[in-house]
Amino acid sequence: MSQVFLYDTTLRDGTQREDISLSVDDKLIIAKRLGDFGFHYIEGGWPGSNPKDAEFFARAAKLELGGAKLAAFGRTRQKNKSCEEDSNLEALLAAKTPVVTMVGKSSDYHVKLVLAASLEENLAMIRDSVAYMKQNGREVMFDAEHFFDGFLANKDYALASLRAATEAGADWLVLCETNGGKLPWEVEEIVREVRQHIPTPLGVHCHNDTGCGVANSLAAVRGGCTQVQGTINGYGERVGNANLTTIIPNLQLKMDRKVVKAEQLRELTSLAQYVAEVVNLKHYNHAPYIGRSAFAHKGGIHVAAMLKAADTYQHIDPQLVGNETRSVVSELSGRGNIQFHAKSLGIDLNNDDAQRVLGHIKHLEHEGFTFEAAEASVELMLHRLRSDYVQPFELIDYFVITEKRQSRGLLSEATVKVKVNGETKFVAAEGNGPVNALSTALRSALAGVYPVLTTVRLIDYKVRILDSANGTSAQIRVLITFQGGGHVWTTVGASANIIEASWRALSDSLEYALVKLN
Number of H helices, E strands in the chain: 18, 14
Contact partners, residue 356, CB within 8 Å, separation at least 6 = 385
CA gyration radius, the chain = 26
Contact partners, residue 180, CB within 8 Å, separation at least 6 = 206, 207, 208, 209, 210, 213, 238, 239
Q: Which residues of 46-71 are buried (b: 16+ CB within 10 A; e: fewer)?
A: bbbeeebbbebbeebeebebeebbbb
Residue closer to a copy of itself (CB basis): 140 or 438: 438
Q: Where are the alpha helices (DSSP H) in 51-118?
A: 51-60, 87-94, 108-110
CB of 13 to a copy of itself, least distance (A): 9
CB of 185 to a copy of itself, least distance (A): 7
- C-alpha 30/C-alpha 13 separation (Å) is 14
CB of 265 to a copy of itself, least distance (A): 15
Q: How many CA atoms lie within 13 A of 340 on its CB side?
A: 5
CB of 476 to a copy of itself, least distance (A): 7
Give, in order, the Cα–Cα distances in Å from 364 to each of 38, 330, 352, 373, 466: 31, 17, 18, 14, 13
Residue closer to a copy of itself (CB basis): 19 or 352: 19
Residue closer to a copy of itself (CB basis): 181 or 448: 181
Q: Would you give the distance in Å from CA 470 to the centre of its chain?
A: 28
Residue closer to a copy of itself (CB basis): 33 or 353: 33
Residue closer to a copy of itself (CB basis): 103 or 168: 103
- C-alpha 240/C-alpha 39 separation (Å) is 20
Identify whether the C-beta of residue 77 lies closer than 8 Å to the C-beta of residue 128. yes
Sort 472 into a burial class: Cβ within 10 Å, 0-12 / 13-18 / 19+.
exposed
CB of 164 to a copy of itself, least distance (A): 21
Does the CA dihedral 220-222-226-230 come out positive or negative?
positive
CB of 125 to a copy of itself, least distance (A): 15
CB of 252 to a copy of itself, least distance (A): 12
Residue closer to a copy of itself (CB basis): 199 or 471: 471
Residue closer to a copy of itself (CB basis): 38 or 434: 434
CB of 137 to a copy of itself, least distance (A): 28
Identify whether the C-beta of residue 48 lies closer than 8 Å to the C-beta of residue 92. yes
Residue closer to a copy of itself (CB basis): 308 or 366: 308
Residue closer to a copy of itself (CB basis): 316 or 385: 316
CB of 506 to a copy of itself, least distance (A): 9
Residue closer to a copy of itself (CB basis): 197 or 282: 282
Residue closer to a copy of itself (CB basis): 403 or 423: 403
DSSP per-residue codes, 299-332: -HHHHHHHHH-GGGS-SS-GGGGT---SSS--TH
Identify whether the C-beta of residue 358 lies closer than 8 Å to the C-beta of residue 335. yes
Give, in order, the Cα–Cα distances in Å from 386 to each of 160, 240, 393, 514: 68, 47, 16, 15
Identify whether the C-beta of residue 79 lies closer than 8 Å to the C-beta of residue 132. no
CB of 184 to a copy of itself, least distance (A): 5
CB of 399 to a copy of itself, least distance (A): 4
Q: How many CA atoms lie within 13 A of 333 on its CB side?
A: 12
How many CB atoms sit inside 10 A of residue 268's CB?
25
Give, in order, the Cα–Cα distances in Å from 437 to each of 80, 415, 416, 480: 58, 8, 10, 15
CB of 338 to a copy of itself, least distance (A): 17
Sequence letter at residue 27: K
Residue closer to a copy of itself (CB basis): 339 or 370: 370
